[in-house]
Homo-oligomer: A and B are copies of this chain.
Amino acid sequence: MQDAPSRPYHHGDLRRAVIETALDMLREEKGWQFTLREVARRAGVSHAAPYKHFSDKAALLAEIAMIGFDRLRESLSAAKSEAPKTLRDEITPLARAYVAFGTDNPALYRLMFSAEEGKAVGMHLNERALAVFDVLVEILRRGQAAGSIRKRPIEGQAAAGWGLIHGMTMLAIDGLLVPEKVGSAPLDAALSTLLEGLGNPAPQQ
């Protein structure tokens, strides 16, 4: 990590630098144009340098998408509340963190869910995506065990949860959650409806 005014011939840690630069680009531009040359340019290296670390554009993209899922998971872990009293207390911060991740990294989030960007990679990618799904399943399972959640097939409940959050995230990214139509806090409102669908009639608010 040398910061010498005249950079040394060898960058030292270009692989990481390229990934970081790419992530920065995806954070800034919603518009999804991603060129290797541009990444190299912004990383301050020649346009062919990345090829020493990534066999292919698709390879870089795939790795970035995976990292995206990892970071999403970190965001969710960080947002996890310690001793949630109600299901709402448990889910709300997670949902907010999820949507925030999407709106903070619009192009990255789209990339993560574009699939078929490498076929063979698809498997691993799906694994990581479905790992996020598992977090939700876990919460619901505990909720059912504790009796705060209706006894329904968990997959269906989790599908509803993931679908809702994913959908709200996408709509938010696309600027479609305009307040005039959808109210001031659409996510919270939607969550309320979801929670009423998940929770047992009695105890929940």
Contacts and interface: CB of A to CB of B under 8 A. Distances in A.
A193 B152 contact: yes
A39 interface: no
Given A163-B168, A164-B167, A167-B170, A186 B113 contact: no
Contacts of A116: 30-31, 175
Contacts of A189: 152-153, 155-157, 159-160
A176 B31 contact: no
Contacts of A30: 115-116
Copy total for this chain: 2
Interface in A112-140: 113-116, 122, 126, 129-130, 133
A88 interface: no
Contacts of A163: 163-165, 167-168, 171, 186, 190
Interface residues of A, number: 53
A158 interface: yes
Interface string A103-117: 000000000011110
Contacts of A175: 115-116, 122, 126
Contact of A171 (B162, B171, B181): B162
Interface in A81-120: 113-116
Nearest to A29: B116
Interface of A: 30-31, 113-116, 122, 126, 129-130, 133, 150, 152-153, 155-171, 174-178, 181-183, 186-198, 201
